[in-house]
Chain A
Amino acid sequence: MSLRKKRPSKKPLPAIGKRSVWFPVLLLTISFLLMILPLEGFVLSVKAVLSYVFIPQVRAAHSAVKYAGGVHQTVQELLRAHQENYTLKQQIEMNNLLAAQAETVFRENERLAALLQVEPVHPWTGVWARVAYREPSQWNTVIIDKGSADGIEERSAVLSLEDGQEGLAGVVIEVTENTSKVLLVRDEDFSAAVMLERGQEEGLLVGGGVHPVRVKYIPLLTQVEKGDKVFTSATSSIFPAGILVGQVRAVREDSSFQTAQTIEVEPQVRSAAVKELFVISRRGRK
């Protein structure tokens, strides 16, 4: 490709006149003078004047660069969110399908329960709430941002999610119009009727405070192993049956004359991890 001009300009270029010559000469002279003068006095004054022009400009440039530096991260997050959105949409569709199947199963269950004249299992209904306040001295009690105005009643079961798995979080012990107090599983005053996944043996779960959560009154000959799941029992008057409480952490070796064994349970929902809670409505239950 030739460096020569291929086509003439639409307008003729202006002739280099006197003005065109003296102006660059003037600028070159000024810059040359600035170079030869010492970096004090006049040059410092020039710099000071220029700082009024350039420093806001530099700040703006720095802000623009900083902002632009974050753009690729934002774009990355946006792309990730797009991918996540796609996956979640698929999950929602799957969940809708499962919910429809569950609805059919519930209706079938109601029909069969009516035929057998037993109490049918109702689906859980309730409200989601957030932890609004946590008393530092009482870590196993939280205040949530929903109250009687949202349909919450005392002695309602409370669930929470941890690692994508729901689990028993506690029970509502106090209700005001817009807030409620929840006693968490680990609290010493907490207790619930539970059953073991293996063998369907029932026991009483009690919170331990600083000590581990325990299940008492498990028959001696019951085979319990570490990792066995513990669920709420149908005999509980507060909690619906089938809520995951936790996993067996250890079996306590008690003295031989005792008639029952005690097991230690690791709760599914840790007290410190509780943020969003699902309060099961008592109206939906018997």
Chain B
Amino acid sequence: MFYKAFKLIFLFVLGTVCHWAFATFFSFCGLSVNMMLVFAIAMCTIVPLEAGYLVAFFSGLFLDFFGARLFGNNAFLLTLAACAVYALRERIDFEAVVPQMVTVFLLTCTVGISNSLLVAWFTSFSQWPGLWSLLGGAVVGTFFAPFVFWLVRRVWGEETAPSRL
């Protein structure tokens, strides 16, 4: 259990590093890449339910930590995204590349749009990054998704069915 918890924390930290790197690099191109979401999705496809929800929640809190107007919106949306992945996991084979990419693309777009709506609803401010920024970020995230999935599976261990912590 301790070993699995350590792996979980390691993957979370790795996700933050990747998110920071991509956010720094692609911000120059005007793209909003959400690598925390990609990591959260990848982890939810393999880790047990509670661990996956926790990771998604804290990944959201990590993103909220840098927000200025609203706190908790990303935690809310990433937890919802985790719910969606757990619902899909029983129906879709996430070991294949195409479902990984399609899921990441759709969820990135959904989370991006929902986030803007939530911010607008709660704070009356517009946080819309722009269609091309959102789509471009989603494409970049989608492109790197198979690698992230592979990395998460490699670190966590090859398991087709989740085990409890």
Contacts and interface: CB of A to CB of B under 8 A. Distances in A.
Contacts, number: 112
B110 interface: no
B64 to A, nearest CB: 8
A68 B24 CA distance: 12
Contact of A65 (B21, B96, B99, B162): B21
Tell me what chain B mostly uses at the interface: helix, strand, loop, or mixed.
helix
A64 B86 CA distance: 32
Given A9-B161, A13-B162, A35 B72 contact: yes
A43 B79 contact: no
Interface residues of B, number: 45
A273 interface: no
Contacts of B93: 3-7
A11 B60 CA distance: 30
A43 B64 CA distance: 11
A47 to B, nearest CB: 7
B53 A23 contact: yes
B83 A24 contact: yes
A36 B76 CA distance: 12
Contacts of B2: none
Contacts of B64: 34
Interface string B144-165: 0000000000000000111110
A245 to B, nearest CB: 54
A31 B57 contact: yes
Contact of A27 (B57, B96, B99, B164): B57
Interface in B59-88: 60-62, 64-65, 69-73, 75-76, 79-80, 82-83, 86
Contacts of A7: 93
A54 B62 CA distance: 7
A28 B73 contact: no
A33 B72 contact: yes
Contacts of B53: 23-24, 27
Interface string B116-140: 0010001000000000000000000
Interface stretch (A55-63, A120-128, A261-269): A55-63
Size bin of chain A's contact surface: 35 or more
A198 to B, nearest CB: 60
A278 B36 CA distance: 60
A80 B13 CA distance: 34
Contacts of A85: none
B62 A64 contact: no
B92 A1 contact: no
A7 B94 CA distance: 11
Interface in A46-98: 46-47, 50-51, 54, 57-58, 60-62, 64-65, 68
Contacts of A60: 13, 17
A31 B75 CA distance: 6
A50 B16 CA distance: 14
Interface of A: 1, 3-7, 9-14, 16, 19-20, 23-24, 27-28, 30-36, 39, 43, 46-47, 50-51, 54, 57-58, 60-62, 64-65, 68
Given A43-B72, A58-B16, 15 more contacts: A5-B93, A7-B93, A10-B160, A20-B49, A24-B53, A28-B76, A33-B72, A34-B72, A35-B76, A39-B70, A46-B71, A47-B65, A50-B65, A54-B65, A64-B21
